[in-house]
């Protein structure tokens, strides 16, 4: 299983790799995949994965990484496969903890909240997963709650 995840990371990194900075390019692609996996996990957190949530994942990846449509689709396919194979979130959150600043991780958490609120309501499964991810990403509770409120307001969802 670990070999499969490594292959997924390598698959994502190799065709898009910058020849001038291969290590930096591979690291950037690993961060993209780790982010995409967490977005997919939030989308799948409750039993009802909606088209609105999938669109929110696609929009978040486009905005965050400035990817073309075909790159987003490829990244999403890889993320869905990696999410199915992964035993936990640690491998992905540790990538983000190593590669992103606190402000960048907070921006990722806000994207995760946007996916959670995309269908107009927050299930207790989504909320529980978000609490876990916030802790794994070392997001201070006040910042975490602020990101949740901003995403809720942007989605037009009421209080949970």
Each domain of the chain, given as residue ranges in start order, spans 2-155
Per-residue confidence in pLDDT tens, the chain, 160 aa:
555 555 555 554 444 444 445 667 788 999 999 999 999 999 999 888 899 999 999 999 999 999 999 999 999 999 999 999 999 999 999 999 999 999 999 999 999 999 999 999 899 999 999 999 999 999 999 999 999 999 999 988 655 5
Separation between Cα atoms, residue 154 and residue 61, nearest integer Å: 17
Query: Closest Cα to residue 38, out of 153, 150, 126, 119?
Result: 126
Vertex 134 angle, CA 129 and 61, to 5°: 80
How many CB atoms lie under 10 A from the CB of residue 24? 11
Separation between Cα atoms, residue 64 and residue 119, nearest integer Å: 20
Domain 2-155 = CATH 1.10.3680.10: yes
pTM of the entire structure?
Answer: 0.84
| Tokens matching residue 8 | 């997924």
């Amino acid at each position: 299983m670990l070999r499969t995840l490594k292959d997924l990371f390598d698959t994502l990194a190799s065709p898009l790799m910058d020849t001038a900075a291969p290590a930096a390019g591979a690291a950037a692609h690993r961060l993209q995949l780790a982010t995409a996996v967490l977005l997919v996990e939030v989308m799948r957190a409750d039993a009802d994965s909606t088209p609105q949530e999938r669109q929110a994942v696609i929009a978040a990846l486009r905005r965050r990484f400035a990817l073309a449509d075909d790159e987003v689709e490829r990244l999403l396919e890889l993320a869905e496969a990696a999410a199915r194979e992964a035993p936990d979130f640690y491998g992905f959150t540790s990538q983000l903890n190593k590669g992103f600043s606190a402000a960048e991780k907070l921006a990722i958490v806000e994207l995760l909240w946007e996916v959670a609120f995309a269908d107009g309501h927050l299930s207790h499964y989504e909320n529980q997963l978000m609490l876990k991810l916030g802790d794994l990403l070392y997001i201070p509770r006040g910042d975490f709650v602020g990101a949740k409120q901003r995403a809720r307001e942007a989605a037009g969802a009421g209080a949970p």
